[in-house]
Amino acid sequence: MTSLSTLENGLNTKRRAVSLSGWALISLSFQTLGIIYSDIGTSPLYVLNGIWPASGPLPSEEDIIGGISAIVWSLTLLPLLKYVFVSLYFGTQEGEGGSFALYQGLYPPADKNYDEDRTLTGVSTLGPEKPPRHLKEKARWPLLIWCLFGTSLTMADGVFTPAVSVTSAVGGIAVAKASVINDIIPISIVFLFALFAVQQFGTHRLAFLFAPISFLWFLLLIGTGIANVITHPGIFRAFDPSRAVMLFVRTRDYDLLAGVLLAITGCEAMFANLGQFNAASIRLSFCFFTYPALILAYLGQGARLIRDGEAVFSNVFYNTIPGPVNGPLFWLVIMFVFAVLATLIASQALITATFSLVQQVINSKAFPPLRMLYTSETIQGQVYIPAVNWALMIATIVVVAAFSNLANLTNAYGFAVATVMFSTSLLLGIQMYYVKHWPMIFGIVYFLIFGFFDALFWGAALKKVPHGAWVPLTIGVILLLTMTLWVWAKGLEDKFDGANRMNLRHFISPDEKASEANYDEDGEELDPELPPYFYLPSPAEKAAGEKMVEERRMLQRIPTCAVFHKIASGKGVPHTFIGFIRQWPALPRVVIFLSVCIVPTNRVPVEDRYVVSKVRTVEGFYGVSYYLGFRDDFDVNVQDLVAKIIELERATNPRAETIIGEILAVTKTATHIAPHYHVVSRKVEGGLLSPISNYIRRFFVEGVYRRLATMFPETANWLTSADEIIHVGINAVI
């Protein structure tokens, strides 16, 4: 029987997208400036010199107009049309975005039934997999690997975005003082260390700190853009898309597109950061502020490059700041300070996107369960993951030190961005048909149009692999292999857990005869005073699913309380309990099977945290759902739980007062029992090649997955003091 609880009587345990309006929406839109758009907003620092390196020849006026036209239309077609007006409509029901979110839209995870988790007398609902029946099911694994690859490259992008942005901004020092050019790398590393050190304060606080700076940065871009455009109004010819086409026809230089790609780096962060904010706030801030500021900035730089030529070509951004470089340095100082601050904030876009993506893959059991700290009282998607933060910091500093040449850094930067954009277009086309149920022609046309532009950029970036792009590709492949292995092996482990769950009535009985002999037709206990028996199954009976009557052992009830932590969902007694009984053939007086449920609210009141079901088969057995808000700390208060158990006993048991006295006596302390699966690779018979395949399988299951699972246990964030925990080891042959 289940106790009354507001959680059970209507609170939705499934997370939903954040919905805001009015001033709350405007405030959230303002915050996006400091988290999402700082990346794409600092691209003017290096884009034009990325297209035409200062070491090369000065481009002609027509080439400059063609390059600016390519930038303007790239910003219009991809960030504005593809991401703002299309992609943001394809987030998950939880409000998440990014490549993996698109996969979850195609193959949504099954809803967890927490009533089943409290049912100990049933059997596992896990059954054999159904064979694929249509193309979508057959494409599950290929699409999963493709999505994981896109997710991996976005994470790799989180390494290169801080590296490129910060070194570009710090490089402005050399404009005013050329003697410090050799100090750019050390100065950049100091800034990066400070950036990663403040991540622990959370997205919400950082957004309020960073958003005003980004807001002023965009205002400076607008002001300098307007001032520069006035010097050569002919730059408005760049709005003619034929100017961009003619640039590549005239020069036949496909590599120019790799430089144009730098203008749209960060657009994937708009989609990946969807879980940190919401679609409306992202659309509002981009359409009415970020997009106009960027267009004006690039038009202004192009105008000054046409008018002043060699005088500004060495560093287009800093040399086109209005005012004399060696004068009072008013504009230079102001722009330099804000450029450094803006690029530090720009790095935040991909750092927070990486946190959001890692949260998705952890929740979907596609990545080792790292410790996650929720940093917002209102938005569950805002998380801080310490291990990811410090790993990103180390990788970014190594990249900055290794790629001392900014040109090599930008080569490495663009490849990850282009690959993820192409991946998103493919998945969106598939989602239009299978999820939105639009006619297939819509998905095909969408992919042909936007996939064509993405493929152009990807082809240009692919040519940069030998010149630095191999680094994010390598990082992405390593992350892909890790996640693919985890999905496969964790799935096998969960199958093992489900296959080895047992009905409590088939395992423990209060009668010497068959388990059901002491119960009436309704399952009510006839004589609760009879001693419990433990029935040890034979392998044959276990495989056949028969009732376990081969070997019987009387179990001594001991005056203790044991809390068994259930990890996987499903009915029945978890394998941990079976292993515990085999090793210690005694039965605690109070046995609690605890399942954890994180609900989409910041905090759950203490009186609503525990929902209890009683097992009538054997006295003293309880199934408990432990509900937590995403900001609550895991803390199983046994006394609060006992209060719920006593309330249930008084409502259902005529012998309640006697039993309550026993419960109170044994629950002053409790022992927590956690599962520990020692995975072992099973042998697969496959003919002549079976020894080789078994060796490879054993290497990945036992040599890699087992070590990762030991380093990152699922219960690491949930358990209490180590002095109160017993880890029950189970050999899991998977």
pLDDT in tens, 313-336: 988 988 888 877 655 544 556 667
With respect to residue 157, please indicate whether it lies within any of the assigned structural domains: yes
pLDDT of residue 11 exceeding 60: no
pLDDT at 481: 93
pLDDT at 8: 46
pLDDT of residue 554 exceeding 60: yes
Please give the Cα distance from 197 to 394 (Å, whole number): 12
Span 404-432, mean pLDDT? 79
Domain count, the chain: 2
- Given the DSSP bridges, would you call strands 621-629 and 671-680 parallel, antiparallel or unpaired? unpaired
With respect to residue 137, please indicate whether it lies within any of the assigned structural domains: no
Of 40-49, 56-65, 342-351, 607-616, the one with minimum mean pLDDT is 342-351
Are 569 and 427 in the same domain? no
CA distances from residue 282 to 37, 274, 356 in whole angstroms, order as listed: 9, 8, 16
Are 459 and 548 in the same domain? no
Summarised one tens digit per residue, pLDDT across range 294-305 is 999 999 999 999
With respect to residue 11, please indicate whether it lies within any of the assigned structural domains: no
Please give the Cα distance from 668 to 673 (Å, whole number): 17
With respect to residue 213, please indicate whether it lies within any of the assigned structural domains: yes
Whole-model pTM?
A: 0.79
pLDDT of residue 569 exceeding 80: no
CATH classification of the domain holding 156: 1.20.1740.10
Are 439 and 566 in the same domain? no
Summarised one tens digit per residue, pLDDT across range 256-271 is 998 899 899 878 878 8
The residue out of 432, 467, 488 marking a domain boundary is: 488
Are 227 and 311 in the same domain? yes
Are 438 and 538 in the same domain? no
pLDDT band (50, 70, 90) for residue 408: low
pLDDT of residue 696 exceeding 60: yes
pLDDT at 232: 94
Are 547 and 436 in the same domain? no
Summarised one tens digit per residue, pLDDT across range 36-61 is 887 788 889 889 988 998 888 999 99
Are 245 and 291 in the same domain? yes
Are 522 and 590 in the same domain? yes
pLDDT of residue 348 exceeding 80: no
pLDDT of residue 517 exceeding 60: no
Token readout for 342 is 């803006």
With respect to residue 484, please indicate whether it lies within any of the assigned structural domains: yes
Are 644 and 713 in the same domain? yes
Are 181 and 299 in the same domain? yes
Arithmetic mean of pLDDT over the chain: 80
Range of the domain at 562: 500-733
Are 296 and 358 in the same domain? yes
DSSP structural state of residue 240: S
pLDDT of residue 19 exceeding 70: no
The residue out of 419, 453, 488 marking a domain boundary is: 488
Residue 719 phi/psi, 5-degree rounding, is -85, 165
The residue out of 441, 466, 488 marking a domain boundary is: 488
Are 413 and 558 in the same domain? no
pLDDT band (50, 70, 90) for residue 688: confident
Dihedral class, residue 176 (left if φ above 0, else alpha if ψ from -120 to 50, else beta): alpha
Percentage, residues of the chain above pLDDT 70: 80
With respect to residue 683, please indicate whether it lies within any of the assigned structural domains: yes
Span 609-620, mean pLDDT? 85
With tokens 């199934």, the residue in question is: 623
With respect to residue 142, please indicate whether it lies within any of the assigned structural domains: no
pLDDT at 454: 93
User: CB atoms < 10 A from the CB of 196, how many?
Assistant: 19
pLDDT at 329: 44
pLDDT at 576: 80
* CA angle 127–128–134, rounded 5-degree value: 120
Q: Whose CA is closest to 395, among 150, 708, 156? A: 156
pLDDT at 414: 74
With respect to residue 275, please indicate whether it lies within any of the assigned structural domains: yes
Beta strands per DSSP E along 42-177: none
Span 453-481, mean pLDDT? 86
Token readout for 174 is 């050399």
